[in-house]
Structure 1
């Protein structure tokens, strides 16, 4: 069985791109599930899959984050990875789907877990906002704050891989320099800018529509939002990215990893073992065949 991928809400589980991509397990909040039931569910996942990789946004309420760590501590398991992603909710959902794709490849659980940070570099996550007055996750100038009070103003904002903010009609958001698809989720904002202007400018190969994650209005500071994320959809390209990074062995828990930090125990790779090319981030190249 493939390594289990888990999330903290059902709206972080995007439809699969193919028939091979498995779904993700949902780990409910303490308000929705008792600790006893949560422990039982995690035990079943471990028995069925061997390893569990749980991904959640950095904006997840503290009580829910504590629940995840409590489960891992009470089960005394080193086979549960808890990965906090500093991405907008739709960006998290994109990485979750990519992790689901990788989970059926011939990578070890440790390599899949540590691949989340690598994949995040290639997700262009942003939103079209009707106001930036309450936006606190991307730097906003006083001038932009003032413009947000002008009726009809709209702002294009990028949170990843680097912060950007432009007033629609006066600037452009810098997009990826490689082939991507775009997923779009509409909130309480009416506009064709994302699909009619941004998508052609970024030369995206396909546009997908999705449901806006429940956490998105809080993350962006407004319900007047259209969230989007450009991503690498091809499993052969994802496989090539991950397989091209040198693999190491965690000196603390002994699991295999890529990059500079273990996905399961969070131990950093000793400085002497760090590869000379740093994080291993590279431009996507010619696709190769994935493993079985």
Structure 2
């Protein structure tokens, strides 16, 4: 059985791109499921799949995050990876689908879990906002804050891989990927065609997909008046080559395979530290360099 991929909200599960991509398991919030049921569900996942990789956004309510750690602690299982991600919620959804795709490949659970850090550097996640006054996850200048109070102002914000903020209507442009991507768009309470009509052509995306706005998105971006977007590598063969090109190591603590400088299951750093590299020709357009993984 493939490694189980789990999420904390059903709206973090994008539709599969093919018939082979499995779905993700749902880890309910404490107010939706008693602890005994959560323990039983996780135990079944571990027994059926061997390993579980759970991904959740940094905006997850603390009580839900504590539940995840409680379940892993009570089960005393080293087969459960809890990956807290700084990606915006829609970016988390994209990464979740990519790991779902890789879970059916010939990668070990340790490699799948540690691949999350590598692949997150190839996700261009951002949003169109009507205000940045409550945006605290991307650097915002005092000048941008002041302009945010001007009626009708809109801002294009890129959270990853490098933070960037522009005001719509100026000559500024968000820096896009130098390789082929598709774009997924989730609309909040902001009527605009800037993302699909201006950003998508400028980034030369290979297609646009619409998705439901994740429940965590308004909190992450500081406003419900937004349109969230994420550009990503859509081809599983490219994802496979990207992960396979990085040298594998053994975790000195738990013994699992890993790529990069940290184990996805026990969080132990690689000793001695190594910088992963990818082989040439992995991406089809341009030669972006990972910021580390």
- TM-score after normalising by structure 2: 0.95
Q: Kindly tell me the number of residue pairs found equivalent between the two proteins.
A: 283
1:60-104 Cα offsets, whole Å, 9 max, x none, are: 111111111111111111100001111100000000000000000
More divergent stretch after superposition (95-104 vs 62-71): 62-71
Counterpart of 2:179 in structure 1 is 178
1:101-155 Cα offsets, whole Å, 9 max, x none, are: 0000000000000000000000000000011111111111111111111111100
Shift of 1:283: 7.3
1:250-276 Cα offsets, whole Å, 9 max, x none, are: 0101111110000111000012xx33x
1:50/1:10 CA distance change after superposition, 3 Å = same
Would the aligned equivalents of 1:237 and 1:284 in 2 still touch at CA under 8 Å?
A: no
> Are 1:13 and 2:13 counterparts?
yes
How do 1:84-123 residues align onto structure 2 when only pairs under 5 Å count? 84-123=84-123
Counterpart of 2:289 in structure 1 is none
1:203/1:283 CA distance change after superposition, 3 Å = farther
Q: Distance in 2 between matches of 1:125 and 1:284?
A: 24
Q: Distance in 2 between matches of 1:24 and 1:187?
A: 24
Counterpart of 1:64 in structure 2 is 64
1:194-245 Cα offsets, whole Å, 9 max, x none, are: 0000000000000000000011001000011000000001000000000000
Would the aligned equivalents of 2:55 and 2:85 in 1 still touch at CA under 8 Å?
A: yes
1:2-33 Cα offsets, whole Å, 9 max, x none, are: 11000000000000111110000000111111
Counterpart of 2:290 in structure 1 is none
How do 1:1-292 residues align onto structure 2 when only pairs under 5 Å count? 1-170=1-170, 171-271=172-272, 274-275=273-274, 278-280=275-277, 285=282
SS of residue matched to 2:47:
helix
- Structure 2, unmatched stretches of 5+, are 285-293
- TM-score after normalising by structure 1: 0.95
Would the aligned equivalents of 2:68 and 2:82 in 1 still touch at CA under 8 Å?
A: yes
1:77/1:134 CA distance change after superposition, 3 Å = same
1:98/1:241 CA distance change after superposition, 3 Å = same
Would the aligned equivalents of 1:118 and 1:281 in 2 still touch at CA under 8 Å?
A: no
Would the aligned equivalents of 2:158 and 2:174 in 1 still touch at CA under 8 Å?
A: yes
Would the aligned equivalents of 1:7 and 1:24 in 2 still touch at CA under 8 Å?
A: yes
1:161/1:29 CA distance change after superposition, 3 Å = same
Q: Distance in 2 between matches of 1:134 and 1:3?
A: 38
Q: Distance in 2 between matches of 1:11 and 1:139?
A: 27
Q: Distance in 2 between matches of 1:81 and 1:281?
A: 24
